[in-house]
Amino acid sequence: MKQFTTLLGAAEFAVTLATGWHFATADERYEKTTLLALAETSDSENPIDGDSFYVVSPSGAIGFCEDGEDIDWLFLSDAAPNEDLPLIYQTAAQVKICTKCGSGVVSGARFCGKCGERLN
Protein backbone atom coordinates (compact mmCIF):
# COMPACT_ATOMS: atom_id res chain seq x y z
CA MET A 1 0.00 0.00 0.00
CA LYS A 2 1.15 3.49 -0.76
CA GLN A 3 1.49 6.14 1.92
CA PHE A 4 0.48 9.78 1.51
CA THR A 5 0.98 12.76 3.79
CA THR A 6 -2.07 14.59 2.44
CA LEU A 7 -5.59 13.44 1.69
CA LEU A 8 -5.35 15.19 -1.65
CA GLY A 9 -2.28 13.14 -2.54
CA ALA A 10 -4.13 9.97 -1.61
CA ALA A 11 -7.23 11.06 -3.53
CA GLU A 12 -5.23 11.92 -6.63
CA PHE A 13 -3.81 8.42 -6.61
CA ALA A 14 -7.18 6.81 -5.80
CA VAL A 15 -8.88 8.43 -8.80
CA THR A 16 -6.47 6.53 -11.04
CA LEU A 17 -7.80 3.27 -9.55
CA ALA A 18 -11.54 3.81 -9.17
CA THR A 19 -14.34 6.08 -10.34
CA GLY A 20 -16.65 6.09 -7.32
CA TRP A 21 -16.45 5.91 -3.54
CA HIS A 22 -18.76 5.89 -0.58
CA PHE A 23 -17.99 7.15 2.86
CA ALA A 24 -17.36 4.27 5.24
CA THR A 25 -19.63 5.54 8.00
CA ALA A 26 -22.38 7.25 6.00
CA ASP A 27 -24.35 6.94 2.79
CA GLU A 28 -22.65 9.82 1.07
CA ARG A 29 -21.20 9.05 -2.28
CA TYR A 30 -18.28 10.65 -4.04
CA GLU A 31 -17.03 10.66 -7.56
CA LYS A 32 -13.76 11.97 -8.87
CA THR A 33 -14.38 15.72 -8.64
CA THR A 34 -16.24 15.66 -5.32
CA LEU A 35 -13.59 13.43 -3.77
CA LEU A 36 -10.76 15.71 -4.85
CA ALA A 37 -12.62 18.83 -3.66
CA LEU A 38 -13.33 17.26 -0.29
CA ALA A 39 -9.70 16.16 0.06
CA GLU A 40 -8.43 19.64 -0.67
CA THR A 41 -10.75 21.16 1.93
CA SER A 42 -9.80 18.54 4.49
CA ASP A 43 -6.07 19.16 4.00
CA SER A 44 -6.44 22.91 4.50
CA GLU A 45 -8.80 22.64 7.48
CA ASN A 46 -7.43 19.53 9.18
CA PRO A 47 -3.81 18.92 8.23
CA ILE A 48 -2.49 15.74 9.79
CA ASP A 49 0.48 15.53 12.12
CA GLY A 50 3.82 13.82 11.65
CA ASP A 51 2.99 10.29 12.77
CA SER A 52 -0.13 10.10 10.65
CA PHE A 53 -0.57 9.29 7.00
CA TYR A 54 -3.13 8.21 4.47
CA VAL A 55 -3.05 4.95 2.60
CA VAL A 56 -4.68 3.83 -0.64
CA SER A 57 -5.64 0.21 -1.19
CA PRO A 58 -5.08 -1.59 -4.52
CA SER A 59 -8.74 -0.95 -5.44
CA GLY A 60 -8.58 2.76 -4.56
CA ALA A 61 -10.07 2.77 -1.05
CA ILE A 62 -8.62 5.53 1.13
CA GLY A 63 -7.68 4.98 4.76
CA PHE A 64 -6.22 7.14 7.50
CA CYS A 65 -3.48 5.79 9.71
CA GLU A 66 -3.33 8.05 12.74
CA ASP A 67 -0.51 6.50 14.74
CA GLY A 68 1.26 4.61 12.00
CA GLU A 69 -0.53 1.38 12.95
CA ASP A 70 -4.31 1.21 12.97
CA ILE A 71 -6.05 2.04 9.73
CA ASP A 72 -9.38 3.83 9.68
CA TRP A 73 -10.91 3.30 6.23
CA LEU A 74 -12.63 6.52 5.19
CA PHE A 75 -13.62 6.03 1.57
CA LEU A 76 -14.48 2.63 0.19
CA SER A 77 -13.99 2.02 -3.50
CA ASP A 78 -16.86 1.07 -5.78
CA ALA A 79 -14.33 -0.99 -7.72
CA ALA A 80 -14.18 -3.53 -4.88
CA PRO A 81 -16.98 -2.99 -2.32
CA ASN A 82 -16.15 -6.23 -0.55
CA GLU A 83 -12.42 -5.75 -0.54
CA ASP A 84 -10.71 -7.29 2.45
CA LEU A 85 -9.09 -4.17 3.87
CA PRO A 86 -6.43 -4.54 6.54
CA LEU A 87 -7.03 -2.77 9.85
CA ILE A 88 -3.35 -2.64 10.74
CA TYR A 89 -0.68 -1.05 8.63
CA GLN A 90 2.21 -3.41 8.07
CA THR A 91 5.44 -2.27 6.62
CA ALA A 92 7.06 -4.79 4.34
CA ALA A 93 8.76 -7.31 6.60
CA GLN A 94 12.48 -7.51 6.13
CA VAL A 95 13.42 -11.12 6.32
CA LYS A 96 16.94 -12.41 6.16
CA ILE A 97 17.84 -16.00 5.59
CA CYS A 98 20.48 -17.84 7.62
CA THR A 99 23.29 -18.87 5.31
CA LYS A 100 23.88 -22.09 7.24
CA CYS A 101 20.46 -23.61 7.88
CA GLY A 102 18.23 -21.52 5.62
CA SER A 103 15.68 -20.49 8.23
CA GLY A 104 14.27 -16.96 8.26
CA VAL A 105 15.78 -14.67 10.86
CA VAL A 106 14.61 -11.37 12.28
CA SER A 107 16.11 -8.30 10.68
CA GLY A 108 18.91 -6.97 12.86
CA ALA A 109 19.55 -10.27 14.68
CA ARG A 110 23.20 -11.17 15.15
CA PHE A 111 22.76 -14.91 15.44
CA CYS A 112 20.38 -17.38 13.84
CA GLY A 113 17.65 -18.33 16.32
CA LYS A 114 17.63 -21.90 15.07
CA CYS A 115 21.21 -23.02 14.55
CA GLY A 116 23.17 -20.25 16.26
CA GLU A 117 25.15 -19.28 13.17
CA ARG A 118 26.63 -15.79 13.36
CA LEU A 119 24.97 -13.51 10.84
CA ASN A 120 26.48 -10.62 8.94
Q: What is the DSSP letter of 66?
A: S
Minimum Å gap between C-beta 91 and Zn ion is 24
- Residue 6, helix vs strand vs coil: coil
Q: Please report, as residue ranges, which positions from 7 to 66 form the binding site for Zn ion (by CB under 5 A).
A: none
How many of the other CB atoms lie within 10 Å of CB of 52? 13
- Per CB under 5 A, the list member of 8, 56, 85, 112 interacting with Zn ion is 112
Minimum Å gap between C-beta 114 and Zn ion is 5
Q: Total number of residues binding Zn ion (CB under 5 A)?
A: 7
Half-sphere exposure of 97 (CA within 13 A, CB side): 3
Stretch that binds Zn ion, among 4-12, 58-66, 72-80, 90-98 (CB under 5 A): 90-98
Stretch that binds Zn ion, among 36-44, 54-62, 69-77, 105-113 (CB under 5 A): 105-113
Asked if 97 and 113 touch (Cβ cutoff 8 Å), the reply is: no
